[in-house]
Amino acid sequence: LPSEVDTSSIVINELLFNPAPTGTDYVELFNRSGKIVDASMLFISSRNSTGIPGTPRKLSEVPFLVFPGDYIVATADAALVKAHYTVPQPMHVLVVPQLPSFPDENGNVVLLNRHGTVIDELSYDEQWHFPLIANREGISLERIDHRLQTQDKDNWTSAASDAGYGTPTYRN
């Protein structure tokens, strides 16, 4: 049976905020807890310029169990994610029709439970990418260690070219 989601049981693990011109944004989440979580009880948002969270978007309209160690991806277009990246768990890609906007230069992602409690949050910056990458389009930012703080900029790196510049639904 699914458990109530508490702070940091599910974490933001990967973010594509600057997709290729023919691609789409996505957010990957990782269940680092020992609990089963229902994705239909999770919401994603971003904060506006005054710091207030925007309209929360439900990750799934139907119950979707996320087991310990599972990765799930939220995107507006699953077909585009699957077309641009290797997706070993295609059933773990959840379509959120109106995914919040994730600006290319910097922005944030807020993960909430059904009560509006912030479970995890990331304020990102394109400068977190590997500095020698000239064109950052289509390259996701990946969390290095899920046990470390989400907001630690040193815990994020560009997805490797040999991994296809993104690893949606599997380990970074």
Half-sphere exposure of 114 (CA within 13 A, CB side): 10
Question: CA 100 to CA 79: how far, in whole Å?
Answer: 18
User: CA 125 to CA 110: how far, in whole Å?
Assistant: 15
pLDDT in tens, the chain (172 residues): 899 888 879 999 999 999 999 999 999 999 999 999 999 999 999 998 888 889 999 999 999 999 999 999 999 999 999 999 999 999 999 999 999 999 999 999 999 999 999 999 999 999 999 999 989 999 999 999 999 999 999 999 999 999 999 999 999 9
> How is residue 111 written in tokens?
């993960």
Question: What stretches of 32-153 adopt beta strand conformation (E)?
Answer: 37-38, 42-45, 57-58, 65-66, 71-75, 93-95, 106-113, 118-125, 141-143
